[in-house]
Amino acid sequence: MIKNISNLGDAALYCDFGTEVNKEINRNVINYFNNLRDSNFLGITNITPSYNKLVISFDLKLTSFAKLKKQVENLELKKNNNSKNNLIKIPVCCAEEFALDIKRLQKLLKINEAKIYETFFSKNYYCYMTGFIAGMPFLGDMDKSLFAKRLETPRVKVPKNSIGITEQFCNIYTFESPGGWNIIGSTPLEIFNKDNQDDPALINPGDKVKFKQITKDEYDKIKS
C-alpha cells in the first residue's frame, strides 16, 4: 500500500510505495493506477506509474493537493484489474549487426555468447513500467549471472527495436534514442504504435514477456 503521499511541484501528488523493486510492490502501484484511472476524480490530468512510485498530476483550477490526497487515501480499491497475466511473445534476432555489445558482455560477465543467450531466453520477464521514451518496457528480473553495468559512455543513437540489458532489467528501445544499455539483439515487431489510439503499447505494466530467438531470415520475413 501507499506509505506516503507528498507534493511534487505545484500540481502533482507523489505516492511512495517503498524503496524495494519487486512484483508485490509493483502490483500495488498498478492496482492504484488502474483504480484511479477508473475513478473519474475531478481534475486528474495524468497518472504515471513506476517501479514503486505513482505520480498523479492534476489541474489546480479543478482540485487541490489536499482534496485529491484525501480521495486517494480513501480510495476503495477494487480487485486488481490488471490480473490478466498477459504473456507477450517477442521474437529477437541476435545476428552480429544487432548484438552490439555481446563481446563486451562476454568479457564483463566471463561467460561465453552461447551461455548468455541460453540464460536470457530461458525465462519470462515481468513489465514493471514503461517510460523514458514512449512505450519502452522495463522488464525484470534478469538472471543474476547476466547483471551488467551500463556502458561507461552512452551511445548517441541506439537503433529502434534494440533489446538492451543492464543490472536486473532488460528493455526494448521503441524509438531510436540515446542510451547506455548493453544491446544484445533486435526485434522485428512494432512495440509502440502511436497511430493505435486504443492501445499504442504492445507491452504494458503487469504483462509478462517471453523472448524467442530467431534467425536473420526469420527477422527479415517478419519485418517485411
**Residue 207 above 60 pLDDT?**
yes
**Residue 79 above 80 pLDDT?**
no
pLDDT (tens digit per residue) in 89-123: 999 999 999 999 999 999 999 999 999 999 999 99
The predicted structure's pLDDT at residue 177:
95
**Residue 193 above 70 pLDDT?**
yes
Read off the pLDDT of each residue in 184-211 and give the average, rounded to a whole number.
91
The predicted structure's pLDDT at residue 136:
94
The predicted structure's pLDDT at residue 78:
84
Q: Give the DSSP H or E segment for 24.
A: helix 23-37
Cβ burial, residue 48 (10 Å; 0-12/13-18/19+): middle
**Contacts with 152 (C-beta within 8 Å, 6 or more apart), sequence order:** none
State the cell numbers at 157: 543513437
Q: What is the mean pLDDT of the chain?
A: 93
Q: Residue 137 — very low, low, confident or very high, per pLDDT cuts 50/70/90? A: very high
The predicted structure's pLDDT at residue 84:
54
Q: Residue 197 — very low, low, confident or very high, per pLDDT cuts 50/70/90? A: confident
- Partners of 211 in the beta sheet? 90
The predicted structure's pLDDT at residue 179:
95
Three-state DSSP at 55 gives strand
The predicted structure's pLDDT at residue 85:
63
More confident residue, 154 or 40: 154
Q: Residue 80 — very low, low, confident or very high, per pLDDT cuts 50/70/90? A: low
Q: Residue 185 — very low, low, confident or very high, per pLDDT cuts 50/70/90? A: very high
**Residue 199 above 90 pLDDT?**
no
Locate cell 504492445: which residue? 202
Q: Using only the alpha carbons of the chain, give its radius of gyration.
A: 19
Distance between CA atoms of residues 32 and 43, nearest Å: 17
Alpha helices in 74-214 (DSSP H): 102-109, 113-120
Query: Model's pTM, two decimal places?
Result: 0.84
Q: Which of 59, 5, 63 is nearest to 32 (CA)?
A: 5
Distance between CA atoms of residues 43 and 58, nearest Å: 5
**Residue 158 above 80 pLDDT?**
yes
Distance between CA atoms of residues 170 and 184, nearest Å: 10
The predicted structure's pLDDT at residue 131:
86
pLDDT (tens digit per residue) in 36-47: 988 989 999 999
**Residue 25 above 90 pLDDT?**
yes
Q: Which of 21, 15, 30 is nearest to 83 (CA)?
A: 30
